[in-house]
Structure 1
């Protein structure tokens, strides 16, 4: 073998070795793929996903399935370049920068805990929305979660305080309290009427200017709902708020005579506000693939996700636009009966 040929051979081996080593080096990306689906009117581990006690329920059929996105990677378990390359080739998955899922100032455990809190809040909001749709009364209590150290509320408002009113205005929800505070100028006094234990108190707190120029007092609040009967939702370790719409529909279906699905396999996604508004979510292409793989033929799609969904909808999956819980119920009624309008997604 000539010296030139030997040099080229050695160089080729070196390049190949470097390529192999490079392929297995960690990269700051996350692979998103279709996750599991759960039928909200079905069971998980032989337990109902939605259990209702203290109120009459009715038989259901078919499926109202929530869909999820699974991820691979993250700061604690970064994927290698080869895995990222496979993901870029696979049309059913997405490869995104790590910081879009894990903010630099949060570790994976914090992200997981935040997702679980969001799921709990989502379940409460979904229950509230379903009861609103059914005209069933419930009470909302705005509760102090914590106060910010050094801010005016610190030492005045306490964790667990139930806020009844602000400046005499009933505290119907967290937004009412926040908006009332923001309507003041920095330096003004705000009067909180709270229940602390068994005692009702008026607590005066002076406002200050926040970092974005909004008036604040430095209090973190949470709406706690007092429903007239027990609604328990069991989905294991699924996190995040995007199952709200399907939770609401599952609760609605169980509390009303007749079968909302007409026996069809229906999946969907979307956040849910207590007032019934459906909000957009992420990972819509992967969620549609998961829905189709689970046997769904209809996919309830948040209105704000319709344009994106139209570009990646799997064959055989019908997209139905859902902007509110009320309209989603009407759409399912129309699908079941063949009468009425079924709003479709349109390409943007």
Structure 2
């Protein structure tokens, strides 16, 4: 016997399923303006990594006596899923909503308008190379070794204060008669002069000493004046330090590189068998700077079985409400504090923890 009501219910159910299928299909095909930030590869800087198909020591030091060590000293990375060329679909974002180690953010946060994937990769490679050099300088200085540095112009911004006055390759010598000792001293001189105030820069070009007057300006939305030039630093290190990594960029491994260099150049294993993971930029004077992707790196550290996680004190405001369970966290502001935290754990003591964040 034909049941009209039952047939209508079946038709509505079929129609509902068809609509749901269409929605899911569209969600799977239509690109979204969002990307997913998640924990990336973890690399032991005291071990080996696959580079060009070969297992190569991550850290190699020539021209100085090195010592054996034990344990793992991990640098942490993040992986960004989704970019201007390969956007994520709306459907692919759903798993990130259920995973505390992942974060959904606009693609523009990682790729500002007009920035290509290739440009971002090149910029991150430059930042990584710079972080390695600064980490090496900080490590040698922490061990009482003398490190020289030369600052030169890497690039000049069009229509910026230095446009037409400085050129790539110019070696900077002094500001207002004061010798430039490092990048920090250069920045202090520019900031102390103030926005719109003239400064006199002495530099060397093709072996000839020259002088120019610049008027630093604060960029739109910024507060500190700039001269409109990218500065590269060439350090004269007591020994040659080479870091071999593939497809990893950015400056956030500086802290771990510096600790690894100290561990290899000082007698006795600093880690004493511990697994230590960390993140943070490193200035050549040993200051630890803030990084991005803190939550994702914390989860990476926990999954790596870390006995200690080193993070920048400057990132205290970025701590998640619920840090990964069981992770011992030590916020640090300097290279010396990082080494001290490791020594404390190796000695069976507790380092200063999240109470430092207030």
User: Does TM, scored on the shorter chain, surpass 0.5?
Assistant: yes
The aligned counterpart of 1:203 is: 211
> What TM-score does the superposition give when structure 1 sets the normalisation length?
0.89
Greater Cα offset, 169-178 or 1-10: 1-10
1:18 aligns with 2:22: yes
Q: What's the CA shift for 1:47?
A: 1.3
Cα distance in 2, alignment partners of residues 251 and 203 from structure 1: 38
Cα distance in 1, alignment partners of residues 132 and 32 from structure 2: 35
Q: Residues 23-172 of structure 1: matches in 2 within 5 Å?
A: 23-24=27-28, 25-45=30-50, 46-150=55-159, 153-172=162-181
Instruction: Say whether the 8 Å CA contact 2:35–2:83 is kept in structure 1.
Output: yes
- Mark the CA change 1:228 to 1:263 in structure 2 (over 3 Å): closer, same or farther: same
Instruction: Say whether the 8 Å CA contact 2:308–2:342 is kept in structure 1.
Output: no
Cα distance in 1, alignment partners of residues 22 and 306 from structure 2: 45
SS at match of 1:328: helix
Q: What's the CA shift for 1:105?
A: 2.9
Q: What's the CA shift for 1:50?
A: 1.0
Task: In structure 2, list runs of 5 or more residues that go unmatched.
Answer: none
SS at match of 1:137: coil
Cα distance in 1, alignment partners of residues 19 and 168 from structure 2: 62
Q: What's the CA shift for 1:242?
A: 1.1
Q: Residues 231-246 of structure 1: matches in 2 within 5 Å?
A: 231-246=241-256
SS at match of 2:25: helix
The aligned counterpart of 2:12 is: 8
Q: What's the CA shift for 1:36?
A: 1.0
Instruction: Say whether the 8 Å CA contact 1:303–1:345 is kept in structure 2.
Output: no
- Mark the CA change 1:294 to 1:143 in structure 2 (over 3 Å): closer, same or farther: same
1:319 aligns with 2:329: yes
- Mark the CA change 1:119 to 1:152 in structure 2 (over 3 Å): closer, same or farther: closer
**Superimposed CA distance per residue, residues 48-105 of structure 1 (whole angstroms, 9 cap, x where no aligned partner):** 1111111111111101111111121121111112210111012232222222222123
Cα distance in 2, alignment partners of residues 265 and 42 from structure 1: 12
- Mark the CA change 1:51 to 1:176 in structure 2 (over 3 Å): closer, same or farther: same
**Superimposed CA distance per residue, residues 235-279 of structure 1 (whole angstroms, 9 cap, x where no aligned partner):** 211111111111110011011011010111111111112221212
> What TM-score does the superposition give when structure 2 sets the normalisation length?
0.87
Cα distance in 1, alignment partners of residues 61 and 256 from structure 2: 16
Cα distance in 1, alignment partners of residues 189 and 296 from structure 2: 41
Matched positions, count:
345
